[in-house]
Amino acid sequence: MERQRLSRAAATIIGGLSQGLTRKNAAEFSFFLAVPTMAAASAYKLLKDYNHITAENIDILIIGNIVAFVVALIAIKTFITFLQKHGFKVFGWYRIVVGLVLIVLLLMGVDLKVV
């Protein structure tokens, strides 16, 4: 039996909303909760692959992290602004449409293995 999957972000946002948070505060809570998880995952990857980091490519690593940080801030700001204006309905409809497409593909016999 296939289990249901729910993203960490959705779980924390739904949990926040069920506790009376506003959409904005629930989304911010979700992003803040992700920080320790992403920091731990990044630290693990750095420790695992530290032997591939050299003096020649450390500047690329630093620039990449700075760019990723700035892009993440812009994405978070954009997402929270979108939520304040439109709410979560778009995401609900998105999941319904994707679910229907997957059902149609399965009925057509398409192999949907996820690697």
HSE at residue 64, side-chain half, CA atoms within 13 A, is: 6
Look at residue 94 and tell me if it is in a domain. Answer: no
The tens digit of pLDDT for each residue in 80-103 reads 888 888 888 888 898 899 999 999
CA distances from 45 to 40, 52, 62, 69 (A): 9, 11, 15, 17
Look at residue 109 and tell me if it is in a domain. Answer: no
Look at residue 111 and tell me if it is in a domain. Answer: no
The tens digit of pLDDT for each residue in 35-61 reads 888 889 988 988 898 888 888 888 898
Structural domain boundaries, residue 64: 8-87
Entry pTM:
0.63
pLDDT at 61: 86
With vertex at residue 86, the alpha carbon angle to CA 84 and CA 91, rounded to the nearest 5 degrees, is 115
Look at residue 37 and tell me if it is in a domain. Answer: yes
Q: How many domains does the chain have?
A: 1
Look at residue 28 and tell me if it is in a domain. Answer: yes
